[in-house]
Structure 1
Amino acid sequence: MFKYYPINMEETDGIIIENLRKVGCDIENEVTSLVQFTTEMVIEGVVKCLVSIQSDLQLNHRMPPNLPARYKLCMEIAKACKDVAGYKGDLGYETFLHGSQTEIRNVFTVIIQKLPKVNEQPIADSVADPFQYTMKKIQNDILRQLHQPWLPSFCNFSCDNSLPFHSIDLTKKAFNSSGKVPQLSTIPHTQLIPSLIEKHLSELAADKYKYKFSVRKVNIIKKEQELPVLAFNSRFSLIRLLQYAEADKKKKKPLPPPKPSHLSGVSKSKTEGPTVEEQCQQLTIIIENLEQDLNLKHTELADVTEEVAKMKSMIECKEAKQNAQRKELDRQEKLYALLPEAPAHLERMKTLLQSNQGKMAVLEEQWLEIKKPFDDEYQIWLLRHENSTGEKLKAALEHTVMSLRSIVEEIRTKEDTIQKLQTHIESMPPSVLTRTFYTQRILSIVANVKKQNEEMHRVLEDVKSVQREINSIQGKVERTFTVTDEIIFRMAKSDETARRIYKYLISLQSDCSDIQKLVKESGNLSREIKDLEDQAETELRKNIATKIRRLQSDLEQIRTENQILEERVGTTS
C-alpha cells in the first residue's frame, strides 16, 4: 500500500528568499513565503538570478507601466530561463504575470540551482563597504608579494652595469675584423683550464676512433682467412667466393714509391686517413655481399614453401578422390554379389513386409484397448481440474478487489491525518521551528520515501505474480477447452448427447470469453477514471479560473489603452 507524505513548502520558500537576498533583491523581513510575492518582486528576482548566471544578459528588472511592454518583457524572461537556466517545463508570459505559487516555486528552484558558487564567481554586491574592499585588496597584495621569491639588490638584472651572458666555443679560434688570426703566445688565466679540458677530450676521442677501426680491421682479416675453408656445396658459396675475389682485386692497388726521410713524419700522418677509407669500403662490400646472399636465400625459401604448399594440396585432393573411389568400389562389389540371387532376395523382402504389416495391425488393436480406459480417466480429471481452477480464479479476483478497497480506505485515512498535522504545524509559531526540528523533519521524510519505495516494489512484485498466475490459468483454460472440444467433437459423430454437450461447451466458452473481456474493460475503465481524477486535481491546483479572470481584466485594460491611444491619434490628426 502507498503512503504519501506532503512536504511543507515554507522551508523551500525560506531558502529561495535567502538566495534572492544574496543576489541583491530588496526583500523585506516580513516576507516569509512566495504567497506574499508580487509580480514586480517575481520579475526582479528572476532577472537578477539570470544576470548573475550570465553577466552579459540585457534584461530590465523593473516592470514597465504599459501592458504590451510587460508581455514582451515576460516573454523575453521566459526565453532566457529556457536558454540560460535550462528550464524544460512549460513556461510563458502568463507564468510571471498570473502564475500560481507552485509554478513560480519551480522556476526559482531551477534558476537557483544554476547560480554560480561562491568560490567560482563572487557576487559584486556582497562587498558594499569601501573600507572592507580596500582591506581585502591590501591583503591580496601582501599575499602576492610574500609568494614571490626574494632577490638581493646586486642580483637584479635591471641594473645599469649589467651585461648579457653569452657562451663561447673554446675549440674555435677567434676572428677579428681585419681577417687575420692573432697568434697568442700565452693563454689568459680565465681560459687556461677550459682549453686544457677541451684538448684532452679531443685527444681521447681521436684515440677511441683509431682503436675502433683497428678492431674492425682485425675482424675483417679473420673473416677473409676463414672464407677459403668453406666447402663448395652450393651455388651461394661459389657466388660469395667470386664476390670476395672481385673485392680483393678492387682492393689491390700499386704501392706508391718510397718518400724521403725528411718527409717521413708527414707521410705517416697522411697515410693514416686512406687506410680507414679502405677499411670502410671493404666493410660496405662485405655487407652488400651478405645482403645479396640473404635475399637469395629468402627467395629460395619462398619458392620452396610455395612448392610444399602445392604438393600438400595435390596430396589432399588425391586422397579425397581415392576415398571416394574406394566407397564406390565397395558399393558396386555388394551390388554385384546380390545380382545372381535377385529373385530370392525379392521374395524374402515381400514376406518380411507382409509379416511386419500383420504385426502392426495387432499392435494397433492392443494399443486402442489399453488407451481407452486411460482416456476416460483423463477426461474425468480434466473436468475436475476445470472446476477447481475456475473457483480458484474467482477467489483470487475477490481477494484482489477486497485488498484494493482496503488500500483506498487506508489512503483516505492517511490523507486526513496528514491534513490535520499540516494545519497543526501551520498554526504553530515560527520560533518553535528550530534547526533540530528541520533536520528531524528531513530525516523523517527520507525514511518515509524509503518506505514508499519498498512498498511500491512489494506491490509491483505482487501485481507481477498475480499477472503470471492469471496468464498461466488462462493458458490452462484455453488448453482444456481445446482438448475437450476435440474429444467431444469426435464423440459427437456417433452420439446425440455428445452433440448437445458440444453445443453447451461452445456456448460456455463464448460466455467465459465475454466475462473475461468485461473484467478487462472494467479494469481499464477504473484506471482511466483514476487518471482523469488525478488530472482534475492537478487542473484545480493550477487555478485556471483565476488566471482566466486576470487575463480578461488585462484584455479589458489593453482595450481601454487602445481606445485612449486612438482618441489621442484622432485629436492630433
Structure 2
Amino acid sequence: MEEVDKILIHALKQVGTELSEETDSVKQFSSELIVEAAVRCIRVIDPGLGSALPTSLPPGMSARFRVGMSLAQACQDIGYKGEIGYQTFLYSNVSEIRSLFMFLVEKLPRESAEASDQPTGKSVVLQRAIVAAIKAQLAVPWLPPNCRLPLQCDTQGVGALHTFHAQPLSLPHCCTKNTDKKHQKEVKDYLRDVLPPVTSQLSHQSSLVSSILEQHTAELSAAQEWDNEWKSQGLLSRLTPQEYRSRKLTRLHKRIKEQLSSAAVSSPERAFGAPCSTSDLSEVLQTFRGAAPSDQILVKGTHFVHSQKFAFTQEDAAVTSSIPTGRQAEGDVQLSQQEELSSLQQQFQLLCSEADQLAADIKHIIFTNAQVSDELKQREVGNSEKEEKMQVKKKTIGLLPDVDDNLVKLQDLVEASAKRVVNLACQWEKHRAPLIDEHRRLKEICSSQELESSRKLSEIKSLHDKIIVSTEEAKKKEETYKQLVTELENLPQDVSRSAYTQRILEIVGNIKKQKEEITKILSDTKELQKEINTLTGKLDRTFAVTDELVFKDAKKDESVRKSYKYLAALHENCNQLIQTIEDTGTILREIRDLEEQIETENGNKTVANLERILDDYKSIRQENSALAAKVREAEGGAPPLTPSPPFHLPLPSLCSVGPPE
C-alpha cells in the first residue's frame, strides 16, 4: 500500500492540504489532518457543498461531533457508498480512511487531475495561490461595515479602492517600434539617460495599475486590428507590410489635406452667415500654420470684408476721439455710454441685415450665372450642329449646276469607298482571328493565374493561422520546459532513475508472480472440483446399480437382505462423513476469516479508540455540567430546574472480537 499512499498524498497536496515532507503513509494522518484533507477535496469537487465545512476541528467536543456528522453527510451526498460516520474522522481506521480518500481523489475533476500531472514551477504555484485567494475572497459573503471583523475590514473595506484613472505612458518598446535605423542610437540614448521609469511618469501612484492595463489593452487591440486588416485586405493587395502601411499613411495624409483644403475654400463663402463651424476650422488651421499670434496672420478676404473693416476702424476712431477729456459726472458718462451702445447696436443690426441681403444676392447671382452658362453651352452645341448642316447644304448647292458629272463622280467615290471598306474588312479579319485567339489564350492564362493566386492566398492564410498556433504551442512548451528545468534543478541529485526503474520492474514482477499463483490455484481448484464431481457421480451410479442388483436378490435370500441393509447404512454413513468434511472446511475458513479480523482490529487500535471515546464522553459531560451551572447562575434565585439528561452519542460500531464458539 505504500505506492497507493504516495499517490493519495500527492493528490491531497495538489488540492491544497498542508502535509509535511515526513508524512509518507495514511497511518500517520491525525484527525485534524483527515478533516482538512477531506474538506479540501469536497471543496474542489462541489464548491457549494464544501464552502460551509470548516477545515479544522473546533476545540469543543460537541462541536467536533457535529463537524464529523456534517462531513460524513457531505461525503454521502457526493456519492460515497461505504460505511461512514463521525467515528471515521474522529476515531480513524486506516482501511476506511484509505478507501474514503481513494474515492475522493477519483471524484476530483479532470482539470484538477491534469493539473496534478503538470509540473509545479514557482510561477505556476504563485498563479494557483493567487487564484485560490481570489476564489476564497469571492466566496466570503458581503457584510455591513458594523458587522465586519478586523480581517473582513481589510478585505472588504474601501480604503484600498481607487477610481480607474489611466494616464499615457512612454514605454521603451513603444518608442523603438516605429523609429528609423538612422535615429536608433539617439532613441536608445534618450531611453537610457532621459526617459523616467513608469512609476515616475504618473502624477498619482494609485493610477499605476490602471495605466499599465490601459496601455497593454490598447497595444493588444491595435495588434489584433492590424492582424485582421492584414488577413482581410493586406494579403489581397500583394504588398509587403511596410509598403501597405506606407500606402495607407499617404492615403490618410491625402484625405486630411483634401478635407482641410475644401474647408478652407468653403469658409469665405460661409463668412456672411457666420456659422459656428468656421471657428473650429480656423483653430485647426491655426494649429497647422504654427503658433504665431492671430494679429500677425494675413487673412484673405473679399472687398466687402475690407470695406466693412475699414468702416469699423473709422467708427472706432471717431468714438475714441469723441471721448471727453474733461471730468464729467458719472450719470452723464453712463447715459452717453448707453446711447453710444444703442447706436452701435443699431448700426451692427443694419450691417448684419445688409450682409445677409448681399449674401442672398450673391447666391442668386451665382445661381443665375450657372443657369446662363448652361444655356450658353446648349446654344453653342446647337449652333455647331447647324453650322455643320449649313456646310453640307452649301456643298450640295455648289454641286447642282453639273449634276450628271457630279453623280458619276459620287458613284465612283461610293464604289471606291465600298471596295476600300471590303478590302479593310478582309484585312481586319486576317488580323482579327489571331488577336481573338491571343485574347482568349491570355484570358485563360489570367483566369488560371487568378485561381492560382487565390489558392496561394488561402494557403498563405492557413499557413499564417498555423504559424500563430505553432507559436502559441511553442510558447507553452517553452514555459513547460523552463518549469521542468527548475524542477529538475530542485530535485535531489542522489536519486537515480535506475532505482525507480528497478523498483517498478520489481513491482511488475511481483504482480506477475501473484497472477501466476492465483491462476495456478484457480486451475487446481477447478480440477479438484471436477474430480469431486466425477467421484460423486461415479459413487451415485455405483450405488444405484448395486442397490438394484442387491434388491433383486434380497427378495429370494435372507442373507442378501441383510447385506442390502448394510449397504444402505454404509451409503448413509459415507454421506454423513462427506458432509462432516465439508462442514470442517467451512469452519476452517471461518476461523481464518476471524483470525484476519482479529489482526485487522488489532491494527485499528480498538482499545485506544475506546479510551479516546471515554475521554471524549467525560469531556462532553463536563461541558454539559458547566453549561447547566451557567444557566443556573444566569437565572439567579430561580428554583433549580430538573437537570436535562446528559448529551449521549451513538458509539461507533466497534467489533468485540472473541474466540469462536
Specify if TM > 0.5.
no
- RCO higher in structure (CA 8 A, sep ≥6): 1
Shorter-normalised TM-score: what interval? 0.3 to 0.5
TM, length-normalised to structure 1: 0.44
